[in-house]
Amino acid sequence: MSTATPALRTKSAHTTPLNFRQWLALAALTLPVLIIAIDSTVLGFAVPALSADLKPSSTQLLWIVDIYSFILAGLLITMGTLGDRIGRRKLLLIGATGFGVTSAIAAFAPSAELLIAARALMGISGATLMPSTLSLIRNVFTDRQQRRLAIAVWAAAASGGAALGPIVGGLLLNHFSWGSVFLINLPIMVVLLILAPFVVPESRTSNPGKYDLLSVALTLGSILPFVYGIKRLSHDGFDVVTAACLIAGIAIGIWFVRRQLWLSSPMIDVSLFTNRVFSTAVCVNLLSVFALVSSLFFATQYLQGVLGLDALTSALWLLPAMAASVIMSLVAVLIARKFSLAVSISAGMFLATIGYVLMVFLGSGHDVAVVGGGLLLIGAGIGLAETLTNDAIMSAVPANRAGAASAISETAYEMGAALGVAIMGSIMAASYASRLRFPQGTPDDVRQAAHETLGAGLSAAETLPSRLGDAVIDAVSSAFTSAIHVTSAIAAVIVLAGAIGSLVVLGSHKARALAERD
């Protein structure tokens, strides 16, 4: 198998315009990405309403929020390789049907238990949609430049959907019940089911070999406990259960890799990772999502907690960053024609680094412009880097392995999101707690609440007499702002390391030779 990445510097290459059928195919393949991205951010706004209606326990509420991402992450590789075998369009249509049906069940769930089950089934369906869309783009757009444009539109839809989620959630919940955040999936899935059979051609691997069920079990056995472990790390800190989950996930993952090396028909061709372009693109893809998700994690808390903005206003302040991500996803097509892969990707990561550095200068006053500016740079940089890494990943494999490659890309995305919240969330929580300095006379229960979370501290402070309460609010806000400084500085170093690493590795003579082969 050739793992060469076609040229990413094609100043003189002629690009054939997309025909109408290809545009329709691209629209159909972008719809699921858009709605899944909206779903990833819209549910948070529905939590208060569904909590009041279904009255879930704290554990049930966590599972309502998290089980979708657990199942999605665990099944991406399995579903990507399944699409290679049974047909990628067929799997897409099966997933669209399942996603629509389970969304309706979730919208009208009468109990927390049924909602958890529906969310789990949505995760299964979502795992069939994401790798199917990207792998079908790889097969529909055979021209190198056309494919880069298509992937840029695909990436822009993902960024745009994440930005639209809070806005859509705020608007829907102002007029309808919490179930409306799930019902928005139905018309999108109906359009996809009508359009895709006519404009998206079927594609599959001609000789896929035996489907190894043990490899399927090993992917679930490695990814599920690992993702659960890092999610638990962000909520409960490091303990025996967290350590056991992480160790089990890593150990089973090693078993999975070893099994792929000696299978005649492996689920994933791990030799792809010997290609510097492919492996570096996957790592940078993970780091890109890590940077974006972790920045949104503390920025939303700062806007609502420290600055006191409501949820919808906070979401509006996030829009410029998401818009920048969308725009740079499309501009990446032009940049890639003029500069090398190494320069283009590292430039995006450097932009994100500058955004994090700007966050280090955030104050506890009304510094909403600093937050907006920092997030805008992060969003722009990540939009550029992530589009080109997805392009490199898909170009590194032949068309008959597109499902497996897109599954690797999507798994890196999910891992990056989980790691961003877990690692940076844990660093922020520890830094915040260590910097709390309460005024004299603060009750012990208020101190304890403030040590838990920013929101709990602010709520507890409101129960105190005005002068003492204001002093506690100032102390909590100051500690959280200082924690942002520490977290942003660490994140800047991590992203900068990714920028330098991609520049050095992809800029090497061997990597350039791979990237410039056609």
Residue 234's pLDDT is what? 61
Residue 386's pLDDT is what? 84
State the Cα–Cα distance between residues 503 and 500, nearest whole angstrom. 5
Beta carbons within 8 Å of 280's beta carbon, 6+ residues apart: 501, 502, 505, 506, 511
Written as one string, the DSSP assignment of 450-504 is: HHH-HHHHHHHHTTS-HHHHHHHHHHHHHHHHHHHHHHHHHHHHHHHHHHHHHHH
State the Cα–Cα distance between residues 384 and 338, nearest whole angstrom. 14
Which residue ranges make up each domain of the chain? Answer: 5-9+16-202, 213-266, 275-518
Enter the tokens of residue 26.
Answer: 């691209």
Enter the tokens of residue 54.
Answer: 């279904």
Residue 474's pLDDT is what? 85
Residue 365's pLDDT is what? 60
Cβ–Cβ under 8 Å, residues 306 and 480: yes
**What CATH number should be reported for the domain whose range is 5-9+16-202?**
1.20.1250.20
Q: Is the Cα torsion angle 41, 42, 43, 44 positive or negative in sign? A: positive
Using CB atoms within 10 A of its CB, is residue 88 exposed (0-12), middle (13-18) or buried (19+)?
A: buried
Using CB atoms within 10 A of its CB, is residue 155 exposed (0-12), middle (13-18) or buried (19+)?
A: buried
3-class secondary-structure state, position 169: helix
Cβ–Cβ under 8 Å, residues 141 and 290: no
Beta carbons within 8 Å of 67's beta carbon, 6+ residues apart: 116, 119, 120, 123
Q: Is the pTM of this model over 0.85?
A: no
State the Cα–Cα distance between residues 86 and 95, nearest whole angstrom. 13
Residue 230's pLDDT is what? 76
Check: CATH 2.30.40.10 for 275-518?
A: no
Residue 254's pLDDT is what? 92
Using the structure block, give the residue that is written with the tokens 């000789």: 207
Written as one string, the DSSP assignment of 73-117 is: HHHHHHHHHHHHHH-HHHHHHHHHHHHHHHHHHHHT-SSHHHHHH
Dihedral of the alpha carbons of 496, 498, 499, 503, in degrees to the nearest 10 = 140
Beta carbons within 8 Å of 250's beta carbon, 6+ residues apart: 222, 226
Q: Which of 439, 471, 440 is nearest to 458 (CA)?
A: 471
Residue 236's pLDDT is what? 67
Q: Per-10-residue mean pLDDT for the chain, 518 residues long?
A: 36 55 86 82 74 79 78 80 84 93 93 92 88 80 78 80 75 83 91 90 73 83 82 72 90 90 78 79 84 79 79 77 84 85 89 92 74 89 86 72 70 74 77 84 82 77 82 86 89 90 75 48
Dihedral of the alpha carbons of 35, 152, 293, 165, in degrees to the nearest 10 = -30
Common-topology check for domains 5-9+16-202 and 275-518: yes
State the Cα–Cα distance between residues 359 and 375, nearest whole angstrom. 8
